[in-house]
Amino acid sequence: MYFEDIKVGDRIEIPETRVDPQEMLEFSKKYNGALMHTDEKHAAASWAGRITSSGIYTFALMWGYYAPRNFCGEHEVAGTHLEMDFKKPVFAGDVLHGYAAVTGKKERNPYNGTIYVHLEVFNQDGELVLTSDSDDIAKRRPGQA
């Protein structure tokens, strides 16, 4: 969608996704070597009591659904900002779902504008496990400037 077509409050639901134990572990071994994410013995003695998902993996599971369906679609220019906040641990077998919502927008120039997107991810118990805020640049409709 063009910048003008995107409205504050627009929302994309992210359907349930199960955290696959093998995929979670492989991701952590490749991209995050922290023992709480890769070593069962270490994790068993930790505060969580078992291996936890890397926050980046948790984010990637949700982003993998959202990104191809993002608010800008073919009129996306670029992402310019991303923040994540890991609220609760995620474990193998958890079932996650969430949503992305437009929380604001601002004209940048005659050619594009910025939209502000907030993402929330919940586990199967309805507990908030991750939030994210990002900025996306969307093209303006030709002739609207």
Give the model confidence (pLDDT) of 114-125 as tens digits.
999 999 999 999
Kindly report the average pLDDT of the chain as a whole number: 95
**What is residue 33's predicted lDDT score, i.e. its pLDDT?**
87
7-53 per-position pLDDT tens digit: 999 999 999 999 999 999 999 999 988 888 998 999 999 999 999 99
**What is residue 9's predicted lDDT score, i.e. its pLDDT?**
98
84-108 per-position pLDDT tens digit: 999 999 999 999 999 999 999 999 9
| 143: pLDDT strictly greater than 90 | no
**What is residue 132's predicted lDDT score, i.e. its pLDDT?**
97
pLDDT band at 75, cuts 50/70/90? very high
Distances (CA, A) of 96 to 68, 100, 112, 122, 135: 18, 14, 33, 6, 23
Distances (CA, A) of 111 to 4, 73, 76, 139: 11, 16, 12, 6
The yes/no answer on whether domain 3-19+52-139 falls in CATH 2.40.37.10 is: no
**What is residue 144's predicted lDDT score, i.e. its pLDDT?**
67
**What is residue 145's predicted lDDT score, i.e. its pLDDT?**
60
pLDDT band at 79, cuts 50/70/90? very high
3-state secondary structure of 57: helix
